[in-house]
Structure 1
Amino acid sequence: MSPEAVLPRSTPHALIVMGVSGSGKSTVGQALAARLGWRYEDADAYHPASNVAKMSAGQPLTDDDRRPWLQAIAAEIDRVITGGGSIVFGCSALKRAYRDILVHGRDDVRIVFLDGSRELIGARMAARKNHFMPAGLLDSQFATLQRPGPDERPIVASIDAPVEAIVDDIVGQLPNLVGE
């Protein structure tokens, strides 16, 4: 029996793994999807060509630029769930307004917030090979971050642990969500 088959339909069927750059969205999201037997998608793959061109030119995206991107992710979530599937998306979703577009009132879409300190994430990023993010950009990410509030019913997982332990923590919180 697949892991998905043991989850009651009242549990989430889309998880949006969010956090600042370097928090482990892709690594944790992929491991979580593998554990649940769900599909994993990186939200960056859903940017329209205009956003890709703008980012390639070194121009920051505005909220207006992000809106069609977030709407495309939300549409894919809707499509997957309507088709009976389940999905994990890795997406920064730093602002409440972004998460509101992604979740848009669905009870079966949940936010997983990867929570870690600026110091921990900065140290991990500094240790990465072939990866460089200026400290100012990480500081900007933390300045932009609007931590999910209780009304968003987030699953909060500390990233101060190995990936498998983080996934264990997230999966362990899923049964507690049934019937909310």
Structure 2
Amino acid sequence: MNQNVTSAVFIVMGVSSTGKSTVGAVLAQSIKGKFIDGDDLHPKANVMKMASGHALNDDDRAPWLERIRDAAFSIEKKNEIGVIVCSALKRKYRDQIREGNQNVVFLHLHSSKEIIAERMLNRKGHFMPTSLLDNQFATLEMPTANEPQTFEIDVNATFDEVVANAVSVANDFLG
């Protein structure tokens, strides 16, 4: 792309356990950007609902997505570079985040449900129970070729390869 932009926000998206937080943190460090874990922007009610094994609905996600969008807006307005981790499972969620923001780029980390389930079982200390994985995949609307500034990154690779792919997309966008 080589746009030579001075500000951009990379949204590392995907279902739970694709490695969004870990990849996002390393990506932010690699491109000298601010890192925000979108899980930290969930209202308390959302965290409690998910922790008790109940899936979020669109109404639950609305204030969270507004916070994500506003964080992206703030980063852009300050001419900074940022990485925000956010599941962004539906097209309308991604469009809500794009609203009013010029340089939002989605990096969709993805894999098969079986591989993600295995990862989820091996993960410690997260509020999302494995029982909600089916809902995550049912909710996911895979990005299509006509969705602006959205890139697929297969997580069926080594961690270093996944990060290298994310950094490559970011560097191409930043110019």
TM-score (norm 2): 0.84
Counterpart residue identity of residue 15, structure 2? V
Q: Closer, same or farther in 2 for the Cα pair 1:32/1:129, shift >3 Å?
A: same
1:8 has 2:4 as partner: yes
User: Gapped runs of 5+ residues in structure 2?
Assistant: none
Partner of 1:159: 155
Q: Quick one: which amino acid aligns to residue 100 of structure 1?
A: D
| Cα distance in 2 for residues equivalent to 1:112 and 1:73 | 15
Shift of 1:112: 0.5
> Does 1:43 find its partner at 2:47?
no
Higher Cα Rg, which structure: 1
Percent identical residues: 39
Q: Calculate the aligned-residue CA RMSD, in Å.
A: 2.6
Distance 1:150 1:64 in 2: 27
CA distance in 2, matches of 1:39, 1:82: 14
- 1:127 and 2:122 matched: yes
Structure 1 stretches lacking a partner, 5+ long: 1-6
Q: Which has the higher contact order (CA 8 A, sep 6+)?
A: 2
Mapped partners of 2:170, 2:50: distance in 1:
36
**Equivalent residues, number:** 172
Match of 2:65 in 1: 70
Output aligned runs, 1:1-180, within 5 Å.
Answer: 8-9=4-5, 13-52=8-47, 54-55=49-50, 59-104=54-99, 106-129=101-124, 133-134=129-130, 136-152=131-147, 153-177=149-173
2:122 maps to a residue whose letter is A
User: What SS does the corresponding residue of 1:150 show, helix, strand or coil?
Assistant: coil
Match for 1:158: what amino acid?
D
CA offset digits 1:1-48 (Å, max 9, x no partner):
xxxxxx8217x6101100111111101111111111111111121123
SS at structure 1 position matched to 2:146 = helix
Q: TM-score when scaled to structure 1?
A: 0.82
Q: Deviations over 1:83-135 (max 9, x none)?
A: 1111101111111111111112634101100011112112222333566833x
